[in-house]
Structure 1
Amino acid sequence: MAMAPTIKVVLGSIAFGVFWVLAVFPAVPFMPIGRTAGSLLGAMLMVLFQVLTPDQAYESIDLPILGLLFGTMVVSVYLERADMFKYLGKLLSWKSQGPKDLLCRICLISAISSAFFTNDTSCVVLTEFVLKIARQQNLPPHPFLLALASSANIGSAATPIGNPQNLVIAIESKIPFGEFLFGIVAAMLVGICVNAVILLCMFWKVLCVQKDEEEPPMEVTPEEDVNSHRFSPATMSHLTPENSHDLNAYHEAMNSYSLPAKWKLILWKIGVYVITVAMLVSFLAELNMSWTAITDAMALVVLDFKDARPCLEKVSYSLLVFFCGMFVTIEGFDRTGIPEAIWNFMEPYAKINKVSGVAVLAIVIVVLSNLASNVPTVLLLGSRVAAAAATISPEKEKKAWLAWVSTVAGNLSLLGSAANLIVCEQARRAQHSGYNLTFWAHLKFGVPSTIIVTAIGLPLIRA
């Protein structure tokens, strides 16, 4: 693609710059309008500056990605109502053998739950459990919070539904769910183990601290001690006890039901789990992922047999709007010719059939993912990397390794992933914790973990 006329290059760069600033720093003093509005502002400027026509802007919006994202969010809402995440939290403390065992459990459970329920969701619902258990064990929460966030990012790389950038890669490159999963799962499992070893080495002395003998034995975190959460990957809105009245009333009503009504509740939960498993099986059977997710979401709505408005209101529509604006903004910036010029300069040094080329690409993706966020990075580089790989060998065209690098890159800094920010904010707001995970504290762990896990995982990617 040739460079656009100078006026379009300048105006398109301004529009993209506005989007980038508000996406990375959503509360800048001169325009604190947030990420979603910033995304729409960038898209509007692309059309207003005539970098894109209105028709081109609408055509750039990827409906299959939005449909898959919507469907998986609805499914996660019903799974939360069916206490799936409460059971995952209980696994953290069940017959725990001490701090080191707890840290390893957090790594494993966080990774697996993130692969199938998104990393943001897992971090929102598991942070409170981790803080509760750390407090009961009289341990500092720092290593456990790092284990939760970093493992959630690594685990989410294994499936197309683990995080937004994977959705983009899987749908654009048409990698089947099963091929994506089995192509990355080895790297994910090894990455989780390596990440856990790094955490154990860095915090070995802290994890050797024993509980006071007078302290009562650790108990499973009771449901009422954990705040409820709205599922919202974009903002992960926190429900305080005051505004979670409806959900508390719901559980109280369930506890007061007669035996037959309780059996109805149990059967309903089983139905939710069966439908969710059916969705995953359908993905493995290579059915259309977007419509499969929407179909399963509607099946859960029908199974619930009541007004779906309260559950549908928990879906993060702001995230869907953010994606719409981002698609338009990225398409406009792409049409300026700047990304193509940058790629043409970098391509001779980024051949994926050479170790040096893979290293260059990985470094560029890690840096851009932390500076400009991983989803825009994937949108800008994904198709170009695939096209360059196809010229070398058709079987190298698949881009699952791009999902691995761009996702693990989120562990580098506190700002590299929404999951990191969610854990940090949840810990800061927690009633009995108030712990502040600082940028530098995260960076000291994030740099070695990201470099080592990315490097070890790349040779294991098979898709």
Structure 2
Amino acid sequence: MVYSALILSLVLIIFTLGKSPFFRVDRAGASIIGATLTIITGVMTFDQAVKTVDYRTIILLFSMMLISSYMNVIGLFDFLGYYAMDRLKTAKGLLGIVIGMTGLLSAFLINDIVCLLFTPIVISLCRRAKLQPIPYLLAVALSSNIGSAATLIGNPQNILIGSLSHLAFGWYMLLALPISILGLFLVYGVLAKVYAQELSQPLNLPEEQLRTKPIPRILLIKGIVILGAVVLGFSLGPEPALVASLGAAVLLITRRLKPNKVYAGIDYNLLVIFIGLFVVVGGVEQSGLFTLLIGKIKMINFQAFTVLTVVLSNIVSNVPAVMLLKFMIPAEHSSLWWANMAIFSTLAGNLTITGSIANLIVVELAKKSGIKIGFGDYLRIGFPITIILVLIGMLYFEVLI
């Protein structure tokens, strides 16, 4: 029990800081080291550690990454960005399109990957149109988190929650969609207000600036059909991991694309983080530490659980927070508690610039392009939006209960 407590503490410290203060160890490294220590200290045997890994989650996450990467390789993200720019006349109109596209894509393609692929396109569009890029980049970060809350495949923690809870895909989507739609409108309203001067100029781009490489129609149709079939499959109830892996497999059957280009879009670090955390948290559970701690904690109510989800998600990141909080979900009305955790652990990512990996991806890509998004720049937009949405969400769930 002592070993498992120390290992979990060390891993969570590195997750909170983003890296080790003494060694060049990142979150993925911390997961590997923590999992290894869990086994060699005798907390669990190797065979027990293997059984703690939820392979449904890993397969589902990997398959959705393949589908997202395929969409990028065929040029879907570039096409959507330049297609929208070609038909817009105002900077505010572009902001609305960026928010809408990012939110929609993030609902069905993992939000971290959407940010990774869409951010450079937004930067390019802003530079060609001579627009201030910061409000548009903030829109990408904020909308990716809010949009991804709408489904159980929109982000890594929701994929995990979907696998652990076996929530019905359609039921959860109907429950979460109103909050996501309201959140996207809120993002537009706040950004339009705060950056009113920067968003007041018209768009005047020469026609040649809007040209992009033609997208292979057959590949585009294939990608959209398969993605639609995968989402429909989730709604009908078969095993989500099998549905997603079948969709990814069909997309890989092609004569036009080199498979390595698709594989390059997979975030292997994230997969390693998941596997390592499964082992570390499984070790803590195996040791009896969680049983001891939960036995000493009085049953918290639904509202307190919401606040704890938001706070813990910002301290240790969303995925570790979900793995820890799952032990506090009661058997009664468990579906609503799981849905609560999925929505609020995702919305929590917008509280600060370090609240989610999606935010950090946008900030780092902007930094590489010479655009600085400061902590304060993000906080004055993300903090009020998150607080307002969390309060509205709590009232929403109060009605449902």
TM-score normalized by the length of structure 1: 0.79
The one-letter code sitting in structure 2 at the alignment partner of 1:322 is: I
Question: Aligned pairs, how many?
Answer: 399
Cα distance between partner residues in 2 of 1:147 and 1:306:
32
Q: Secondary structure at the match of 2:354?
A: helix
Q: Tell me if structure 1 keeps the 8 A contact 2:62–2:266.
A: yes
2:322 maps to 378
Cα distance between partner residues in 2 of 1:312 and 1:297:
11
Query: Counterparts in 2 of 1:148-163, with a 5 A limit?
Result: 148-163=140-155
Q: Tell me if structure 1 keeps the 8 A contact 2:89–2:202.
A: no
Q: Tell me if structure 2 keeps the 8 A contact 1:369–1:377.
A: yes
Bigger radius of gyration, 1 or 2?
1
Query: Counterparts in 2 of 1:38-77, with a 5 A limit?
Result: 38-77=30-69
1:34-87 Cα deviation digits (max 9, x unpaired):
222210101111122222232221111000001101111111222122222122
Cα distance between partner residues in 2 of 1:96 and 1:306:
32
1:445 maps to 381
Q: Secondary structure at the match of 1:206?
A: coil
Q: Quick one: which of 351, 361, 370 aligns to 2:301?
A: 351
1:269-311 Cα deviation digits (max 9, x unpaired):
3223222221111111111100111111111122347763443
1:367 maps to 311
Q: Quick one: which of 263, 266, 289 aligns to 2:217?
A: 266
Q: CA deviation at 1:207?
A: 2.3
Q: CA deviation at 1:199?
A: 1.9
- Gap change, CA 1:97 and 1:323, over 3 Å in 2: same
Cα distance between partner residues in 2 of 1:140 and 1:23:
33
User: Structure 1: which 4+ aligned runs deviate by more than 6 Å?
Assistant: none
Q: Secondary structure at the match of 2:197?
A: helix
Q: Tell me if structure 2 keeps the 8 A contact 1:72–1:297.
A: yes
Cα distance between partner residues in 2 of 1:386 and 1:397:
10
Cα distance between partner residues in 2 of 1:136 and 1:342:
56
Q: Secondary structure at the match of 2:157?
A: helix
1:371-417 Cα deviation digits (max 9, x unpaired):
11111111111242243xx1xxx475551121110001000111111
Cα distance between partner residues in 2 of 1:309 and 1:199:
39
1:206 maps to 198
Query: Counterparts in 2 of 1:93-242, with a 5 A limit?
Result: 93-208=85-200, 210=201, 216-217=205-206, 221-223=210-212
Cα distance between partner residues in 1 of 2:18 and 2:183:
31
Cα distance between partner residues in 2 of 1:197 and 1:301:
41
Q: CA deviation at 1:29?
A: 4.6
Cα distance between partner residues in 1 of 2:194 and 2:298:
37
1:417 maps to 356
Q: Quick one: which of 301, 313, 333 aligns to 2:252?
A: 301
Q: Tell me if structure 2 keeps the 8 A contact 1:72–1:293.
A: yes
- Gap change, CA 1:274 and 1:452, over 3 Å in 2: same
- Gap change, CA 1:310 and 1:398, over 3 Å in 2: same
- Gap change, CA 1:395 and 1:453, over 3 Å in 2: same
Q: Quick one: which of 22, 27, 45 aligns to 1:35?
A: 27
1:247 maps to none
- Gap change, CA 1:221 and 1:404, over 3 Å in 2: farther
Q: Tell me if structure 2 keeps the 8 A contact 1:26–1:32.
A: no
1:109-144 Cα deviation digits (max 9, x unpaired):
110000011111211121122222322343322211
Q: CA deviation at 1:185?
A: 0.8
Q: Tell me if structure 1 keeps the 8 A contact 2:129–2:205.
A: no
The one-letter code sitting in structure 2 at the alignment partner of 1:416 is: G
Q: Tell me if structure 2 keeps the 8 A contact 1:195–1:449.
A: yes
Q: Tell me if structure 1 keeps the 8 A contact 2:329–2:337.
A: no
- Gap change, CA 1:221 and 1:48, over 3 Å in 2: farther
Cα distance between partner residues in 2 of 1:123 and 1:27:
21
Cα distance between partner residues in 1 of 2:48 and 2:35:
11
| Structure 2 gaps, min length 5 | none
Q: CA deviation at 1:90?
A: 2.2
Cα distance between partner residues in 2 of 1:21 and 1:219:
50
1:422-445 Cα deviation digits (max 9, x unpaired):
100111112xxx011122321222
Cα distance between partner residues in 2 of 1:458 and 1:90:
38
1:233 maps to none
Cα distance between partner residues in 2 of 1:293 and 1:145:
30
Q: CA RMSD in A?
A: 2.6
Q: CA deviation at 1:335?
A: 4.2
1:192-232 Cα deviation digits (max 9, x unpaired):
11222122222223323x369xx7558765547xxxxxxxx
TM-score normalized by the length of structure 2: 0.91
Cα distance between partner residues in 2 of 1:178 and 1:456:
22
Cα distance between partner residues in 1 of 2:205 and 2:99:
25
Cα distance between partner residues in 1 of 2:322 and 2:143:
21
Cα distance between partner residues in 1 of 2:226 and 2:17:
39
Q: Quick one: which of 400, 403, 407 aligns to 2:339?
A: 400
- Gap change, CA 1:87 and 1:309, over 3 Å in 2: closer
- The answer on 1:326 being equivalent to 2:269 is no
| Structure 1 gaps, min length 5 | 1-7, 225-254, 256-261, 353-357
